[in-house]
């Protein structure tokens, strides 16, 4: 039996497990699960969903760092977002990467280091996250979704000063920080998501909704993106593809709306669930 909503979690014995979330009736959100059936084996090869249920104390990111070969991101992949940023609609996917250390859990704090507090331009970006399940090289658009293991939702936290003005034209410096890609709450099997291009996605800051859109507004649909990225560049099991953010980001608003110390960011995706993370500004180290 294959998993439905894979979670990685710490249980009451202090150990970390992967499991299939046992959801309360009437919800699809793994953050509301209190138990999960333990999964044994390799989720990218052969595994078993056991009947052993373990209590969930804390949800972690669905995949550990050592399970993720690369973390790819698309920029400007929603039509309305390209308009709000006053940037041209891309002809080809705009690609950038984050280190695996940026991956955080669905309830982890978002740490803002002193370097990222320059100009206080920290922004939020709700995104649908694709997890590749098997090696993909030169695949066609028609077969691309067959390579998807599942979906999650994430926040591509961005520091606009470093991304746009101080990074020499490269986005990496504004995107690289530890914990700046929290995701989850579960890895939802692709078998449960019949049409990933017809899902509502949103962001709330301290309860105020600031982003709300359908994934149908993507410029490069998921199948096209996977096919394109696999041309001459092999996608591996565990690779993450973050598929861009819709309109409503802080830098696109008037007045601009930046994240502040203590803000609570909630990111949600229809049929997948929500993540909820607190922004925490790190204090400068005192001089001896």
Report the domain count for the chain. 2
Q: Which domain holds residue 276?
A: 65-281
Residues 146 and 192 in one domain: yes
pLDDT of amino acid 169:
72
Residues 164 and 217 in one domain: yes
Q: Which of 60, 81, 100 is the last residue of a domain?
A: 60
Q: Which of 19, 40, 60 is the last residue of a domain?
A: 60
Residues 86 and 49 in one domain: no
> Residue 288 falls within a domain, yes or no?
no
> Residue 287 falls within a domain, yes or no?
no
b/e string for 99-135 if b means 16 or more Cβ within 10 A? bbebbbbbbbebbbeeebbeeebbbbbbbbbbbbbee
For residue 196, the domain's CATH number is: 3.90.850.10
User: In 10 A of CB 165, how many CB atoms?
Assistant: 13
What averages of pLDDT result for each successive group of 10 residues across the chain (288 residues)? 96 98 96 98 98 98 98 96 90 96 98 95 98 98 98 97 81 92 98 97 98 98 98 98 98 96 98 98 77
pLDDT of amino acid 288:
46
pLDDT of amino acid 139:
98
pLDDT of amino acid 55:
98
Residues 136 and 92 in one domain: yes
């Amino acid at each position: 039996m294959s998993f439905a909503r894979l979670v990685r979690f710490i249980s009451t014995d202090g150990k970390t497990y992967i499991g299939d979330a046992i959801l309360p009736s009437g919800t699809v959100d793994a953050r509301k699960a209190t138990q999960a059936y333990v999964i044994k084996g390799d989720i990218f090869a052969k595994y078993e969903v056991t009947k052993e249920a373990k209590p969930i104390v804390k949800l972690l990111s669905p995949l550990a760092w050592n399970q993720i070969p690369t973390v790819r991101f698309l920029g400007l992949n929603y039509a309305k977002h390209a308009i709000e940023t006053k940037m041209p609609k891309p002809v080809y996917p705009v690609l950038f990467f984050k280190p695996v250390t940026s991956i955080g859990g669905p309830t982890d704090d978002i740490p803002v280091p002193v370097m990222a507090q320059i100009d206080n331009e920290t922004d939020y970006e709700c995104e649908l996250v694709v997890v590749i399940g098997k090696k993909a090289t030169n695949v066609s658009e028609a077969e691309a979704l067959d390579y998807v293991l599942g979906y999650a939702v994430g926040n591509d936290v961005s520091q606009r000063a470093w991304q746009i003005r101080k990074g020499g034209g490269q986005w990496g410096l504004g995107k690289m920080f530890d914990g700046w890609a929290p995701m989850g709450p579960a890895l939802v099997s692709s078998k449960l998501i019949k049409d990933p291009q017809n899902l509502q996605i949103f962001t709330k800051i301290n309860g105020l909704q600031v982003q709300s859109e359908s994934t149908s507004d993507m410029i490069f649909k998921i199948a096209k993106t996977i096919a394109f990225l696999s041309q001459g560049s092999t996608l591996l099991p565990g690779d993450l593809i973050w598929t861009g953010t819709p309109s409503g980001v802080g830098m696109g608003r008037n007045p601009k709306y930046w994240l502040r110390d203590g803000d609570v960011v909630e990111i949600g995706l229809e049929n997948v669930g929500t993540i909820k993370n607190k922004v925490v500004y790190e204090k400068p180290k005192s001089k001896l």
